[in-house]
Structure 1
Amino acid sequence: MKDLTLLLFERMGIFLMLTFIFTRIPLFRQLLDRKISWLNTFYFSSLFGLFGILGTYAGVVVQDGMVSSSFWMLQLGPDEAIAHSALVGVVIGGLIGGPLVGIGSGLITGAHMVYLGGFAAWAGGIAALVAGILAGAVARFFSQERVISPVKALFIGMFAPILLMGIILIGVAPPERAIQLVNLIGIPMVLTNSVAIAIFTTMLHVALREEERTAAYETQRALYIAEAALPHLKQGLTFRTAEAVAGLLMRELKAAAVAITDRERILAHAGIGTKQHVPGESIKSELSRRAIETGEQQIAYSHEQIQPHHASLGAAIIVPITEAGKVAGLIKLYFRRPQDIRSVEIVLAQGLGQLISYQLGAAMHEKMTHLMKEAELKVLHAQINPHFLFNTLNSINSLIRMNPELARHVTMQLGTYMRLNLKVTSSQWISFRQEMELLNAYMEIMKIRFEDQFTVECDMDDELETWMIPPATIQLLVENSVNHGLRNRRSGGLIRIGLRRKGGRAEVSVEDNGTGIPPNLLDKLGTKPVASLSGNGIGVYNINQRLIGLFGQEARLHIGNKAEGGCRFAFSIPYMRAEGSEDVEVH
């Protein structure tokens, strides 16, 4: 028994070497992914049936209690039997392929064992079929596992040779010969078959881990390329950005050449054939046109199908990239030979095309959001400025009859203010110094309109002069105090403006000694347009929304009434670079 066990283990090693080679076959990965069709069932049944046949030929012939070391047998005599590893292929086929593969491989292996003959041939044939059925049933029980664990496979692998021993004891005559055979081959077959099945499933787990590592690496590489390409793609598909992206893809994908196109022209080319390539050359290849029209990836397997026609380029993958749901251009990956295009390259190219398409869409969305924000700011100005303009024009109209000289002066001041306002509000950011110049021009007109009804005091830290602020923010709060808070005061009105630096933020406050804000409107003002007799609150609401949109909730307006009378508006904003960059830096 010891010699038989060692001999079976030696031959099992040869058998497992073949199975390791088998796990390298790409078609085998479809079985691991449970991609079973009727055609694949036939293929895999035949394949695992062949493994069963090889396991039979790797067996050891037994005759009258003696072990033969012959490696290959064509036919067994009537007094011979075989200790084999045929059930390994059947059980593995059932475990990973399901009942149909188990039955198919069991039938093939069992038919071969009957063909070989021997006094236990029919017992082996029946055991192979039943083992395939039971292994398929067990696979259904463990269907949540992609491949059953080696420990489970070790114990499951024991039942097949034990089943064979039971059938031999029941069906082989005379009983004395059956008992002698089982005593000789039972334990060695149970050990070798179960260990072989456990090792086989271990190989499958190794193959899966390799596949997962490869997929993770390719995914990481695609994400890195997409991230590195994003700064260029944000600027759109141009000759300059296409050249940068083509160079990036050339370095990372190890292709023979890379080309980037829009819908009509080749924008950039890197790698083999670059000297022959002229940026702006029109797209000529039929596959490229088809990719643009259909939006589907195309693969060229011949030199004639690709562009440019370079002698060293024999294959290409053409990947469409989309923007706003339409094909915006192509990524063309060139290879020297068709054999260089593996499934990994095809899947990677397709995933990369999708990622870059998403990046283009995100860049367009970001650009549109920025444009909408700018448009929204301009709309806010358009909503607020007419109030001041109409009131000033009405004042000029009244002064023309009573005091023409003063009307002429107000008109000149209005012109000065409008020129200055047009200059500063054409930018998204202005300095505090420019904001105060705009406010002073505004107050010159207000003093003429309202004479001595109110005064304005301003206390600003000198170091804040170069800090940036959205234009007309302070002016609009002062205008709110003039038009609403102090509208009923005939004299003694006071507007106090404070601009203080606190750490990395500028704290701005505008307060007056007017009538204050009605309590029923205090918690609503700034959060939405508020209807009231003195106005609809659109100005304060717009200021608050603009501050929140640009700086976040920390910059929102804080509105309250003062105990001694009047109201106070306050907010704080972080430091903004004087060149107008949107990158906020806190000192």
Structure 2
Amino acid sequence: MFTLFILLLQRLGIILVLAFLLVNVSFFRKLITKKTIKAQVALILIFTVFAVISNLTGVEITRSNTLVQTPFLTGLPQSDSIANTRTLVITVAGIVGGPIVGGVVGFLGGIHRVLQGNFSDYFYIVSSTLVGWIIGLIGKYIKTPNTYPKPWTTALLGILAESIQMTFIWIFSGLALVKLIFIPMLLLNSIGASVFISILNAYLSNEQQLKAVQTHDVLNLTNKTLPYFRQGLNINSAQKACTIIKRYTNFDAIGITDRINVLAHVGAAEDHHVAGQAVLTDLSKHVIASGETKYAYHKEEIGCPHHECPLESAIVLPLKVNGKTIGALKMYFTKAERLTQVEENLAKGLASIFSSQLALGLAEEQSKLISDAEIKSLQAQINPHFFFNAINTISALMRTDVDKARAALLQLSTFFRSSLQGVQETEIPLQQEQEHVNSYMSLEQTRFPDKYTVSYDIQASSDVKVPPFCLQVLVENSVKHAFSNRKNGNKIHISVKQEQNNLQIAVADNGIGINPDLLKRLGQETITSSTGTGTALANLNRRLIGLYGNESHLQITSSPEGTTIRIMIPFKEA
């Protein structure tokens, strides 16, 4: 028994070395995070190869319980048996891929075992399939979204899997074989499964830490680039921004262009990518013309005419303001293999944030040049307290839930961009206004989980025209004032209905109601109150009357059971 244990320990080492190498392959790392059919098929193929290797490296056991050592066990007499690590592989396949992957890998591994034994021991097909399906089913319910079961839990699953296998061997091959192989295979396969899953968990944990560090760096980066991108795209601001971006990222070179010229290039190849000269690379020209992000994984794809250019891979992203491409952000590596999915995701996020910062700068410039009270009142809707609260929430989430922090950062970008777009329009599609509300509420619900519930009753086309902020101001008013300190059960209902040639918009809450003394003044004037001034509602009311006439003013009804604010505007479609 001890000799068998040592021999199986050697075979286990082979599987674990292969597991370590596998986890370091980016293709496999992407597969374990996806839930698609293609990903399942790929996992089945990978783990089936492991199961076959386990069969081939097994230890042959003769009828007289003598151990036979061979480098690769391609076949054996029908009377002999094998001790191997196949159950380990099937266990891991079930935990990683679920019952379907585990069951299919067990089925295919069992078929190979039958072929290896010259069409003997058909029960291995059933037992291996059953092991994969049961472990996959259990693993599906005990693993978390970001990690697999803990080592001791995996070890228990390995013991369960091997016990099922041994039960079949006992029934069909006899107790003598079970006595010889049970303890060595039980120990090694359970320990091996635990180590295999621990390798995966170690990778996932490192990845989460990397994301947290990256998110923190992105926040610092965007904070430092904001003053320059608010100045618009010019040689000075682009040079400063590129220097900051390169300092906070791992790229070898950073470049920014407008639609025609290179505005700045910092890092490798700056000797021929010179500010003020026309855009050189075909890749950048294509992005500027099409407005689509492009990736270059080889030097030839970049299309730089300079023969000695050291740049070998690149991400080029459009910088957009109000849907129009005004330039490009270019990020380069001097080694093609350094361009990975992590860098691609980072670049996309940065391009979105920088575009928002440019839009902010454009809006500020317009507010300076155009003395229009309407624009100024709209700009007032971008609440700095809300913005800083959201940033603080995101910073806190980075320590507990990186994925939520990234999602909140994207929602903040969407909210900010929608606010800026509203500054420049008198009417926008209903869908755009709804997205603005959704991004606002997503951030509020991130700060206060389960505190608010928002429901919609939209009985109009998503393209119908509405004033910007008409929903967002009303929803924010409910969030701030309707529910006092109530922590749950707070409901906001938004309805949009077409009534003949008009569009009726209503936002209702189940809050505490409005003081009757304030109700008549609300929306008409600024009110001195401990909970706010009513400026946003007053601005919205003035905008509605200015756009559509007195009949479109805010209609407010309130009681201790809640408040409803209605708007009636002319029906217009895009």
User: Does the TM-score normalized on the shorter chain lie above 0.5?
Assistant: yes
Whether the aligned pair in 1 keeps the contact of 2:316 and 2:328 (CA below 8 Å) is yes
Partner residue of 2:154?
153
Partner residue of 2:117?
117
Deviations 1:503-543 (A, max 9, x none): xxxxxxxxxxxxxxxxxxx999x99989xxxxxxx9x99xx
Structure 2 counterpart SS, 1:73: coil
Deviations 1:381-407 (A, max 9, x none): xxxxxxxxxxxxxxxxxxxxxxxxxxx
Partner residue of 2:322?
324
CA gap 1:277/1:89 in 2 versus in 1, 3 angstroms: closer
CA apart distance, 1:184: 1.0
Structure 1 counterpart SS, 2:132: helix
Deviations 1:262-318 (A, max 9, x none): 122221222344343453323354432332233221123334743463512333321
Q: Provide the C-alpha distance between the structure 2 equivalents of 1:303 and 1:119, rounded to a whole number of angstroms.
A: 54
Whether the aligned pair in 2 keeps the contact of 1:46 and 1:108 (CA below 8 Å) is no
Q: Provide the C-alpha distance between the structure 2 equivalents of 1:378 and 1:46, rounded to a whole number of angstroms.
A: 60
Q: Provide the C-alpha distance between the structure 2 equivalents of 1:184 and 1:89, rounded to a whole number of angstroms.
A: 21
Q: What value does the CA root-mean-square deviation take over the aligned residues? A: 3.6
CA gap 1:282/1:41 in 2 versus in 1, 3 angstroms: same
CA apart distance, 1:256: 3.7
Q: Provide the C-alpha distance between the structure 1 equivalents of 2:295 and 2:347, rounded to a whole number of angstroms.
A: 11
Partner residue of 1:240?
236
Partner residue of 1:357?
355
Partner residue of 2:303?
306
Structure 1 counterpart SS, 2:94: helix
Q: Provide the C-alpha distance between the structure 2 equivalents of 1:316 and 1:119, rounded to a whole number of angstroms.
A: 54
**1:69-468 equivalence runs, <5 A:** 69-117=69-117, 121-142=121-142, 144-146=144-146, 147-172=148-173, 178-283=174-279, 285-300=281-296, 301-303=298-300, 305-307=302-304, 309=306, 311=308, 312-365=310-363, 376=373
CA apart distance, 1:69: 4.3
Q: Provide the C-alpha distance between the structure 1 equivalents of 2:243 and 2:261, rounded to a whole number of angstroms.
A: 18
Q: Provide the C-alpha distance between the structure 1 equivalents of 2:522 and 2:131, rounded to a whole number of angstroms.
A: 74
**Identity across the alignment (%):** 28
Query: TM-score normalized by structure 1?
Result: 0.59
Whether the aligned pair in 2 keeps the contact of 1:87 and 1:128 (CA below 8 Å) is yes
CA apart distance, 1:48: 0.6
Q: Provide the C-alpha distance between the structure 2 equivalents of 1:5 and 1:304, rounded to a whole number of angstroms.
A: 54
CA gap 1:221/1:166 in 2 versus in 1, 3 angstroms: same
CA apart distance, 1:379: 11
Query: Which aligned runs of 4 or more in structure 1 are off by greater than 6 angstroms?
Result: 369-372, 377-380, 526-530
Q: Provide the C-alpha distance between the structure 1 equivalents of 2:189 and 2:235, rounded to a whole number of angstroms.
A: 64
Whether the aligned pair in 2 keeps the contact of 1:81 and 1:119 (CA below 8 Å) is no
Gaps in structure 2 of 5+ consecutive residues:
378-516, 537-574
Gaps in structure 1 of 5+ consecutive residues:
173-177, 381-521, 531-537, 550-587
CA gap 1:377/1:258 in 2 versus in 1, 3 angstroms: closer
Partner residue of 1:475?
none
Whether the aligned pair in 2 keeps the contact of 1:83 and 1:189 (CA below 8 Å) is yes
Deviations 1:292-345 (A, max 9, x none): 233221123334743463512333321111223322211122333433423232
CA apart distance, 1:258: 2.5
**1:572-583 equivalence runs, <5 A:** none
Whether the aligned pair in 2 keeps the contact of 1:127 and 1:160 (CA below 8 Å) is no
Structure 1 counterpart SS, 2:331: strand
Q: Provide the C-alpha distance between the structure 2 equivalents of 1:31 and 1:277, rounded to a whole number of angstroms.
A: 38
Question: Which amino acid in 1 is paired with 2:111?
Answer: A
Whether the aligned pair in 1 keeps the contact of 2:273 and 2:280 (CA below 8 Å) is no
CA apart distance, 1:34: 3.2
Partner residue of 2:52?
53
Q: Provide the C-alpha distance between the structure 2 equivalents of 1:21 and 1:379, rounded to a whole number of angstroms.
A: 59
CA gap 1:529/1:123 in 2 versus in 1, 3 angstroms: closer
Question: Which amino acid in 2 is paired with 1:341?
Answer: L
CA apart distance, 1:25: 1.4
Structure 2 counterpart SS, 1:74: coil
CA gap 1:67/1:28 in 2 versus in 1, 3 angstroms: same
Query: TM-score normalized by structure 2?
Result: 0.60
